[in-house]
Chains A and B, each alone.
Chain A
Amino acid sequence: MLLAVNDLRTSFFTYAGEVKAVDGVSFSLDEGEAVALVGESGCGKSVTALSIMGLINPPGKILSGSIVFNGRDLIRLSERELRHIRGNEIGMIFQDPMTSLNPVLSIGTQIIEVRRLHQGLRGRVARQRAVELLSMVGIPSPGERLRQYPHQFSGGMRQRVMIAMALACQPKLLIADEPTTALDVTIQAQIIELMKELQAQLGMAIILITHDLGVVAGLAKKVYVMYAGRIVESGSVDRIYYHARHPYTWGLLASVPRLDDKPKKRLVPIQGQPPDLLAPPPGCAFASRCRYAMRICVQENPALLPSSDDAEHRVACWREDPEAAAFIGASRGGVA
């Protein structure tokens, strides 16, 4: 087990009140495994990632839970110990490659900096290694590019630079926070393909964070669907894509455009808005948008439990409850 996040709770204490951005999230991954955290904006995916990195700033705070990485609980490490892990054992790339690189430092400086910090690599060796990294992520004429500045790179190339930087110290885990969201569709495919190749080559584990189920399938083996700070469904890519049980996951899947759709077919949006995390509803957070909601859905939050036919496939939905199954069975046809 490389990483085990257990019952993580991270809140932001704003003037308006406590925002429970991550509210009891648990998941784990093995060495070399790739998983995806999926959900719409504000569901807590990025806060989960930043919690793992120890980069939650005030007014945010990790309230409880544990993040065990390589046998050590990151939440209990000192800032100094965490710094040794960041960039060294866990690399991270971010959503917007346009703004995530420092505009006033050359690409070379920014890449070499990581190696120098964690491995004391300097001078020509460091430059040589940076050139290797750039060519590894598929940047042509890397020697020349090293001296250039971020504004001289295209968006896709900058994301490649970000990946090179994150992988500079050969981390065991790469966290990719919406790595393709700011890119063109064709470039998205290239970046995912690159990450896949690098994973095969270097064997690092990957946490892919995205709102786009379309990019998940190429890379991750396992998917965690998040909604309003909680995991509502998890399972293998196959289970989530073809046997999803949670109405929210259905909604996410329906909102992905498909190549074999009829032309001009409208995308199906999920109706309504995500709940206000300042005052979350008492029951299931998705209930107000769910067309299958029952009375209990607005009263009590469902637990994340193994589904009836696959223990690895877990769902947090009252419809999975044996009693509800009887009810749904009785009224089938009347609801859906």
Chain B
Amino acid sequence: MIKFLIRRLLSMVLVLWVIATVTFIFMHLIPGGPFTREKKLPAAIMRNIEARYHLNDPLPKQYLDYFRNLLRGDLGPSYTYEGRTVNEISADGFPGAATLGLAAVGIALLIGIPAGIISALYRSKWQDNLAMLLATIFVSVPNFILASLLMLVFALKLRWFPAAMWGEPSQIVLPALALTGFPTAFISRLTRSSMVEVMQQDYIRTARAKGLSNLAVVVRHALKNSLIPVVTYLGPLLAGNMTGRFLVENIFAIPGLGRYFVTSIYNRDYTVILGVTIFYSSLLVVLNFLVDLTYAWIDPRIRFTDSGKE
């Protein structure tokens, strides 16, 4: 188990290094730079700026410098936002994005899993048809459309929640709902299909032959087995939602991370691109690791031995 953890940790570092390096190379392959403007700057000024940010160094040196700083936890200064470091930007944007993301995923699990179970148990009955119709609708509607609709109905017409901005708990509700549409629908479909499969297993018949009630059969014998696909989906879902969703953040004027992620690319804001990418990948890698640990907790057949998975 210890060996497994160490090997897993090393491979996570390796993955992050590869992602960072590839991003670094591609980023510099894109024509232009952070200070390229439509109206060209005088060459002398350009040289001064580049010298200040060490952009005139040869690329391998820039690469090594960046990684040296990265190891110390320093993601460097932003080129676009004067006087702000990437560390500050992440620290500012992440708590909001994470709160919003967690709220959205939480709602998705709370609604999606029960909806999936009900659909599976009432397969082809009206409960199932209704749930799957809703799931199809919410999988198809993009979150920015849902966001606009929610804002229109609940903020402008009914005035139940504030239309935008960030800070009050009530301001979380509408963006979280907008973000939760797709994952809720997706989770309910995943739960339904794996539940249907599990309910046909022999051990479910055994459980019923013991005299367990339907509810006990579902909760004790079927649920754990049928949650594995949902857990798999949860890793990337959490990482994606916690690092911000650009469009929804924009619509609700939320200072999240998604915004920086998108704007940094057309600003060629090298350090922000790299910083946010590394941040997102780290989160994804860690969450996937947690997903794997959850598998082992759910299913005792998956054991982490020193030779990897059994």
Q: Which residues in A have some Cβ–Cβ distance to B below 8 Å?
A: 53, 55, 83-88, 91-92, 94, 96, 99-106, 113-114, 117-118, 149, 151, 162, 165-166
| Residue from B203, B208, B224, B300 within 8 A of A99 (CB atoms) | B203
Which of chain B's residues have a CB closer than 8 A to the CB of A113?
Answer: 210, 212, 220
Which of chain A's residues have a CB closer than 8 A to the CB of B301?
Answer: 103, 149, 151
Which of chain B's residues have a CB closer than 8 A to the CB of A99?
Answer: 201-203
A118, B211: Cβ atoms closer than 8 Å: yes
Which of chain B's residues have a CB closer than 8 A to the CB of A53?
Answer: 209
Counting from the closest, the 4 A-B pairs by CB-CB distance are: A87-B211, A87-B210, A86-B211, A99-B202
B300, A55: Cβ atoms closer than 8 Å: no
Please report the C-alpha to C-alpha distance between residue A165 and residue B202 in the assembled complex, in whole angstroms: 15
Give the contacts of B155-212 with A (CB-CB under 8 A).
201-203, 205-212
Please report the C-alpha to C-alpha distance between residue A106 and residue B224 in the assembled complex, in whole angstroms: 13
Give the contacts of B271-310 with A (CB-CB under 8 A).
298-301
| Residue from A87, A100, A118, A151 within 8 A of B205 (CB atoms) | A100
Please report the C-alpha to C-alpha distance between residue A307 and residue B205 in the assembled complex, in whole angstroms: 39
Nearest A residue to B300 via CB reads: A149
Which of chain A's residues have a CB closer than 8 A to the CB of B212?
Answer: 83, 87, 113, 117
Nearest B residue to A85 via CB reads: B211
Which of chain A's residues have a CB closer than 8 A to the CB of B201?
Answer: 99
Please report the C-alpha to C-alpha distance between residue A83 and residue B210 in the assembled complex, in whole angstroms: 8
Please report the C-alpha to C-alpha distance between residue A88 and residue B207 in the assembled complex, in whole angstroms: 12
Which of chain A's residues have a CB closer than 8 A to the CB of B213?
Answer: 83
| Residue from A104, A117, A118, A166 within 8 A of B300 (CB atoms) | A104
Interface size on B, residues (CB 8 A): 21
A to B CB contacts below 8 Å, 30 in the list:
A53-B209, A83-B212, A84-B211, A86-B208, A86-B210, A94-B202, A94-B205, A96-B202, A99-B203, A100-B202, A100-B206, A103-B203, A103-B225, A103-B299, A103-B300, A104-B224, A104-B225, A104-B298, A104-B299, A105-B220, A105-B221, A105-B224, A106-B300, A113-B210, A113-B212, A117-B211, A117-B216, A149-B300, A162-B206, A165-B206
| Residue from B209, B211, B221, B298 within 8 A of A102 (CB atoms) | B221
Evaluate whether A86 and B300 lie within 8 angstroms (CB atoms) in the complex, with A99-B202, A103-B225, A113-B220 already known. Answer: no
Please report the C-alpha to C-alpha distance between residue A101 and residue B300 in the assembled complex, in whole angstroms: 13
Which of chain A's residues have a CB closer than 8 A to the CB of B209?
Answer: 53, 55, 86-87, 91-92, 94, 166
A101, B225: Cβ atoms closer than 8 Å: no
The tally of CB-CB contacts under 8 A between chains A and B is 71
B49 CB to nearest A CB, Å: 60
| Residue from B210, B225, B299 within 8 A of A165 (CB atoms) | B210
A109 CB to nearest B CB, Å: 9
A55, B206: Cβ atoms closer than 8 Å: no
Which of chain B's residues have a CB closer than 8 A to the CB of A165?
Answer: 206, 210
Which of chain B's residues have a CB closer than 8 A to the CB of A102?
Answer: 203, 206-207, 221, 225
Given contacts A55-B209, A85-B211, A113-B212, could you give 10 more A-B pairs where the C-beta distance is less than 8 Å?
Answer: A55-B205, A84-B211, A92-B209, A94-B209, A102-B207, A103-B300, A104-B224, A117-B212, A149-B301, A166-B209
A182 CB to nearest B CB, Å: 11
Which of chain B's residues have a CB closer than 8 A to the CB of A149?
Answer: 300-301
Please report the C-alpha to C-alpha distance between residue A53 and residue B220 in the assembled complex, in whole angstroms: 21
Please report the C-alpha to C-alpha distance between residue A85 and residue B208 in the assembled complex, in whole angstroms: 11
Nearest B residue to A109 via CB reads: B220
Give the contacts of B53-104 with A (CB-CB under 8 A).
none
A117 CB to nearest B CB, Å: 6
Give the contacts of B211-246 with A (CB-CB under 8 A).
211-213, 216, 220-221, 224-225
B29 CB to nearest A CB, Å: 48
B13 CB to nearest A CB, Å: 32
Nearest A residue to B297 via CB reads: A104
Nearest A residue to B207 via CB reads: A102
Please report the C-alpha to C-alpha distance between residue A87 and residue B210 in the assembled complex, in whole angstroms: 4
Nearest B residue to A118 via CB reads: B211
Which of chain A's residues have a CB closer than 8 A to the CB of B300?
Answer: 103-104, 106, 149, 151
B298 CB to nearest A CB, Å: 6
A118 CB to nearest B CB, Å: 6
Please report the C-alpha to C-alpha distance between residue A103 and residue B206 in the assembled complex, in whole angstroms: 12
Please report the C-alpha to C-alpha distance between residue A121 and residue B195 in the assembled complex, in whole angstroms: 30
Nearest A residue to B216 via CB reads: A117
Please report the C-alpha to C-alpha distance between residue A91 and residue B216 in the assembled complex, in whole angstroms: 18
Which of chain A's residues have a CB closer than 8 A to the CB of B216?
Answer: 117
